[in-house]
Structure 1
Amino acid sequence: MEKDKKTWNKSELWTNELEVLKSIINTTGLTETTKWGGPVYTLNGKNVLGIGGFKNYFTIWFFKGVFLKDEAGVLVNANEENTKSLRQWRFESVNDINEKLVLSYINEAIAVEQAGLGIKPQSREIPVPEILQQELDANPELKAAFEAFTPFKQKEFNEYVGEAKQEKTKLARLEKIRTLIFEGRGLNDRYRK
C-alpha cells in the first residue's frame, strides 16, 4: 500500500495570496521550479527564494536571507537552533503585501546570490566509539583498512556502532563491520549505485 505523498499547501487557504506573490516574483527573471512540494525560485540553478502557505500565514522565504539588510525588520528565523541562513517574511493577508518592498527584498536576494555569498554547512564530527577504537588499536590490519576509507564512510561506521544502546548490540555491529572493513566495502555501499 503506497503512502499518500505529502504536499506543501494542502489547505489551499492562501491560493490568491500566493498568486499575488508569484506575480511579483515573475517580474524578476527568476526561474520557477518545484522543490519539497512547493514553488521555489532559482537563479542559474541556485535556490533564491520560495513561497508557501501555512495554517496561520503565508510566506516568502529567502534561502540566504541572513545576508539581507532587512531594513523593514520583516524577516524571521523560523528555527533558531537549526536554521543558519534561511529567513521568512510572513503575511497574514493580501493587504500585508507591499509590492515595492517585496520586490526590493527579492532584488537584494538576487544580488546576494550573484555575489556568491553563503554559509558553509558545518560537518558534525562523529567520534570513533570506544569499542571500535579499542578494536582498531588492537588490530593494525583492521586500522589500516579502516583508514583507507573516505572520512564519510568512516563516519558511517562510527555512527552505526556508536548509536547502539546495548553492549551486545555494539559487539554485533562491530563484528558486522569488521568483515566489511577488511573487504573494503562501506557500510551502505550496497545501496549506492
Structure 2
Amino acid sequence: MTDAPDRIDAYIAAQADFARPILTHIRALMRAASPDMGEAVKWGMPFFTYKDQNLANMAAFKGHAAFGFWHDKVGREDSSDDAMGQFGRLTALADLPSDAEIARLIAQAMALIDAGDRPRTGPKPPKAPLPVHPAFAAAIAASPAAAAIWAAFPPGKIRDYCEWINEAKTDATRDKRIAQAVDWIGEGKGRNWKYEKK
C-alpha cells in the first residue's frame, strides 16, 4: 500500500486558496477515468500513473497552478508555452478545458500507454562552441597531422580540449597543455583518451 494519496492530500491542503479547487477537480477527473489510475509524488508534485507509467502531473505555485500530460503526443496542438503543462497558468477552474475535453485527453494518454508508445524525450540543444585559444590554434596549424585530425574531431572532443586549455591559470601551464594536446591530437587521441573504452 502506498502513502501517495495521503501525500497528495497534504500537497493540495498546503496550497493557496485559488489552487486547491483546481487541483481537487483535476484529481477527481483523473481518478474517475480508470480504476487502474495510480497516484504518486515525484519531483515534489502529484503524478497520475497508468500501468506504472507517468500519465499526467499537476502542481501549484504562488500565483498559478499547472496541469499537463506526460506523453508528448497528448494535447499538444494548442499547448501553452507560458507555464509547465499544456494548459498555461491556471488561476481558476474556468481556465481548464471542459471536463469532456480532459476526459478525452486522459483516454488518449491511456491508449498511447496501452499501445506501448513511449514519450519522446527530445533532443538536447547543442552547446555553443568554446573559443579556441589563439596559441592553441597556432600550434595545431603548425602540425599537419594534428590539424587533419582536429578538423575531423567531433564537437565533444574539441570542447574537452578547449576547456582544458582555457582553464589553465598561468601561461606556463597553458603552454605545457598546448604542447601535450598537440601531441595527443596528432596521435588521434581525445583529451580523456586514458579513460575512453577501447
Instruction: Give the TM-score of the pair, scaled to structure 2.
Output: 0.53
Match of 1:4 in 2: none
Aligned residues: 170
Secondary structure of the residue aligned to 2:87 is strand
Unpaired runs of at least 5, structure 2: 1-10
RMSD: 4.9
Match of 1:138 in 2: 142
- In the alignment, which of 45, 50, 70 is matched to residue 38 of structure 1? 45
Q: 1:42-90 CA distances to partner (integer Å, 9 max, x unpaired)?
A: 55666443211122321202344565265xx5x31127xxx9xx63344
Q: 2:11 matched to 1:12?
A: no
Q: Note the C-alpha offset of 1:136.
A: 3.4
Match of 1:120 in 2: 122
Q: Note the C-alpha offset of 1:124.
A: 0.8
Q: Is the 8 A contact 1:136 1:142 kept in 2?
A: yes
Q: 2:81 matched to 1:101?
A: no
Match of 2:8 in 1: none
1:1-193 aligned at under 5 Å gives the runs 12-13=15-16, 14-26=19-31, 27-28=33-34, 29-42=36-49, 47-64=54-71, 68=75, 70=77, 75-78=79-82, 87-94=86-93, 97=96, 98-112=98-112, 114=115, 115-116=117-118, 118=120, 120-124=122-126, 126-127=128-129, 129-131=131-133, 132-139=136-143, 152-158=156-162, 160=163, 182=184, 186=192
* C-alpha distance in 2 between matches for 1:91 and 1:20: 12
Cα distance change on mapping 1:126 and 1:57 into 2, 3 Å = closer
Instruction: Give the TM-score of the pair, scaled to structure 1.
Output: 0.54
In the alignment, residue 38 of structure 1 is paired with which amino acid? M
Q: Note the C-alpha offset of 1:107.
A: 2.3
* C-alpha distance in 2 between matches for 1:10 and 1:176: 58
Q: Which moved more, 1:59-68 or 1:134-143?
A: 134-143
In the alignment, residue 101 of structure 1 is paired with which amino acid? E
* C-alpha distance in 1 between matches for 2:175 and 2:49: 45
Cα distance change on mapping 1:102 and 1:180 into 2, 3 Å = farther
Q: Note the C-alpha offset of 1:129.
A: 3.0
